[in-house]
Amino acid sequence: MSALPDPLRLHRCMLLIRAFEEQVRRLAAAGLVPGLVHLCTGQEAVAAGAIVQLGPEDRIASHHRGHGHCLARGADPRRLMAEILGRAPGLSGGRGGSMHVYDAASGNLGTNGIVGGAVPLATGAALAAQRQGSGGIAVAFFGDGALNQGLVSECMNMAAVWRLPVLFLCEHNGYGEFTASADVTAGPSLLARGAVFGMPAEEVDGMDALAVQQAVAGAAARARGGEGPSFLLCHTWRFSGHHAGDRQDYKDDEETRRWRARDPIPRLAAHLRATGLADDPALAAMEAKAERIAADAAAFARAAPEPEPAALHQHLFA
Ligand SMILES: Cc1ncc(C[n+]2csc(CCOP(=O)(O)OP(=O)(O)O)c2C)c(N)n1
Ligand SMILES: [Mg+2]
């Protein structure tokens, strides 16, 4: 699909993700989120820029930091928030939480608690699309930490051999949990992890939604044209900790200042002003709308019931 670059759509999407994650942060601080929750604040441009290029026949698979992917793909914010709070109207019936969101209606194979787990799912979806001739493609989102998981290389290999219509999209935020990825990752270039399988491998500014969109447009066109997979290494940074509540002692102030200055939201806002697509009142109205949607989702989720104990045995194979 060659959707026109739509900077307004990208901006709306990023604002919604940011406002939504801010609500999740508050709910987590209030003790309302069971388990750990990983916020994608700062990484919005990757989700928005990539997913704007996809159509209904396409599939995505996401990771543990995946609320933004779900929202960009069209998940109902109320049902996503209810899932994060473990409530019955949640997208997975309140049984999965943040890391096990599943949303078939939006072609989302789910967030995933297994590092790298999105990669075989998306590769399988691409194999199905190829076999069925659906014309669809699949996007696997994963972090830089996942590049050291064996199954990621195995999937890249098979996808390249079979020329599957899949995009391997790495969100390189520089960390895996509390460890700098440079300390645990061998080799001079992460790009080589895709290039070694003979697929196009490209470095992308993951703080620039338009740059992500452009890179994904190229990779998606190749996949749709039967030319097989691509690897996109999107450089980004998480403004939050590994999980909500992480004190982030391992980041230094200079690093934080440098990356905060690259915040994808003001950056796209500047572009919108400069091109006359939106003025300050229009931008403020877009932000207020995103905040209203996120606040409504939080209120809905807080008021929603927990799953009925009698439903415990539903959706089990055994
Ligand atoms: C197979 C597996 N190993 C280890 C973990 C524990 N773990 C959860 S998140 C994480 C770091 C992942 O880093 P990265 O892929 O870069 O994603 P980021 O958190 O930076 O977005 C680890 C090691 C896990 N969930 N699954
Ligand atoms: Mg990482």
Q: Distance from the CA of 237 to the center of ligand 2, in angstroms? A: 8
Ligand closest to the CA atom of residue 147 = 1
In whole angstroms, give the CA distance from residue 85 to residue 298: 9
Atom of ligand 1 nearest to the CA of 117: 1
- Which amino acid does the sequence have at 276? G
For the residues 37-61, what does the mean pLDDT come to?
98
**Overall domain count for the chain:** 1
Predicted confidence (pLDDT) per residue in 103-146, tens digit: 999 999 999 999 999 999 999 999 999 999 999 999 999 999 99
- Considering the domain boundaries, does residue 126 fall inside one? yes
98 pLDDT tier (thresholds 50, 70, 90): very high
For the residues 1-5, what does the mean pLDDT come to?
43
Average pLDDT, the chain: 96
Whether the CB-CB separation of 127 and 164 falls below 8 Å is answered with: yes
- Considering the domain boundaries, does residue 2 fall inside one? no
> 178: how many CB neighbours lie within 10 A of its CB?
13
* Nearest-5° Cα angle at 74, 300 to 41: 75
- Which amino acid does the sequence have at 301? A
Backbone dihedral angles phi then psi of residue 286, each to the nearest 5 degrees: -65, -40
- Considering the domain boundaries, does residue 252 fall inside one? no
If phi over 0 gives left and psi between -120 and 50 gives alpha, with beta otherwise, what is residue 198? left
- Considering the domain boundaries, does residue 71 fall inside one? yes
Ligand closest to the CA atom of residue 37 = 1
* The model scores a pTM over 0.95: yes
Confirm or reject: Cβ of 66 under 6 Å from ligand 1.
no
Question: Pick from 175, 108, 111, 109: which is nearest to 147 by CA?
Answer: 175
Q: Distance from the CA of 7 to the center of ligand 2, in angstroms? A: 26
- Considering the domain boundaries, does residue 293 fall inside one? yes
- Considering the domain boundaries, does residue 47 fall inside one? yes
C-alpha gyration radius of the chain: 19
Q: Is the pLDDT of residue 188 over 90?
A: no
Confirm or reject: Cβ of 217 under 6 Å from ligand 1.
no
Q: Is the pLDDT of residue 41 over 80?
A: yes
Ligand closest to the CA atom of residue 178 = 1
| Residue 1 confidence (pLDDT) | 42
DSSP string, 180-193: EGGGT--SS-TTHH
Atom of ligand 1 nearest to the CA of 176: 13
For residue 28, give its domain range.
7-244+257-302
Name residues with Cβ closer than 5 Å to ligand 2, which is an ion: 143-145, 173, 175
- Considering the domain boundaries, does residue 33 fall inside one? yes
- Considering the domain boundaries, does residue 223 fall inside one? yes
Question: Pick from 205, 20, 221, 234: which is nearest to 140 by CA?
Answer: 234
Which CATH number belongs to the domain containing residue 213 in this structure?
3.40.50.970
Whether the CB-CB separation of 84 and 98 falls below 8 Å is answered with: yes
6 pLDDT tier (thresholds 50, 70, 90): confident
